[in-house]
Amino acid sequence: MKFKALLAGLLTTVALPAFAGQGADILAGVDAGAQKIASQVIRFEVLNQKAGTSSPQSIEFVTKVKGTKTFTEFLAPGDLKGTRALTLSPTQMWVYLPEFGKVRRVASHMTEQGFMGTTLTQQDMGVPQYASQYDAAIESETDTEWTVLLTAKAGQELTFPRIRMVVRKDQYLPMRMEYMGSTSDEVLRTEERGEYNCDASQCMFSYLRMTDHRRGDAWTEIRPVEVQLNVDIPDEQFTPRALQIAL
């Protein structure tokens, strides 16, 4: 089955009209692609390799997306099944843990921690909104790619104040990201995306792998296995109260 879109960062990236090619325009193009599809439901299969373990753990979850809001439910393995997460913005996040039967707001200082044992953060589970959080400058370019350095805007308190992003020119597709602190050039995490499959209007990467160099190069790789586009999802789905109800 050929899927039409993908949650990137986890979320959809779509072909766009050409922008001017300046740093801010490139981020606007990346963001516009991630927010192009009005709504979608995506099921992911995940491999999660923790440092010091011999083989990766298999995980499965489903994410509903509407605009910039996401609702995620874990389907497997058993110890994660029924766990749900809601992201309304980079600073508005909630999680439901079935073991406790309660919905909890995710504190801002907790958003940088690995989400449910993966190398993804709670913020990674949302729709990218780079242009509102980062300034950008082109570091270099080739005939096919820009390398752009993102720096946190004044007043933004971000887990990763700087990101080096490699973006394909033809359709504003992020290919690789290196996440750094505010001053050091040490790369803390690396995100790589597999080759995109594109049709006339939309593109999809085959996988996304996030490697956390702070945790012994632990990595999480996600792959889409089922995608539904422009699904009618009621707004009530994206509320903390809805976290107590299974998808």
Q: What is the DSSP string of 45-106?
A: EEEEE-TT-SSPEEEEEEEEEETTEEEEEEEESTTTTT-EEEEEETTEEEEEETTTTEEEEP
Each residue's pLDDT tens digit, 60-70: 999 999 988 99
What mean pLDDT is reported for the chain?
86
Q: Comparing 202 with 93, which gets the higher pLDDT?
A: 93
Q: Is the pLDDT of residue 15 over 50?
A: no
Q: What is the mean pLDDT of residues 30-43?
A: 83
Most confident of 3-12, 115-124, 126-135, 180-189: 180-189
Which residues, at least 6 apart from 34, have a Cβ–Cβ distance to it below 8 Å? 8, 9, 11, 12, 13, 127, 128
Q: Is the pLDDT of residue 47 over 50?
A: yes
Other Cβ atoms within 10 Å of 141 Cβ, number:
14
Q: Are 113 and 121 in contact (CB under 8 A)?
A: yes
Q: Is the pLDDT of residue 201 over 60?
A: no
What is the DSSP-derived secondary structure letter of residue 194?
P
Q: Is the pLDDT of residue 21 over 90?
A: no
Domain extent listing, the chain:
13-238
The fold adopted by the segment(s) 13-238 is: outer membrane lipoprotein receptor (LolB), chain A (2.50.20)
Cα separation of 94 and 87, whole Å? 7
The model's pTM is 0.85
Beta bridge partners of 167: 146, 174
Cα separation of 57 and 85, whole Å? 20
What does residue 86 show for φ and ψ, rounded to 5 degrees? -125, 130
* pLDDT confidence of residue 157: 83
Q: Residues of the chain with pLDDT > 70: what percent?
A: 86
Q: Is the pLDDT of residue 14 over 50?
A: no
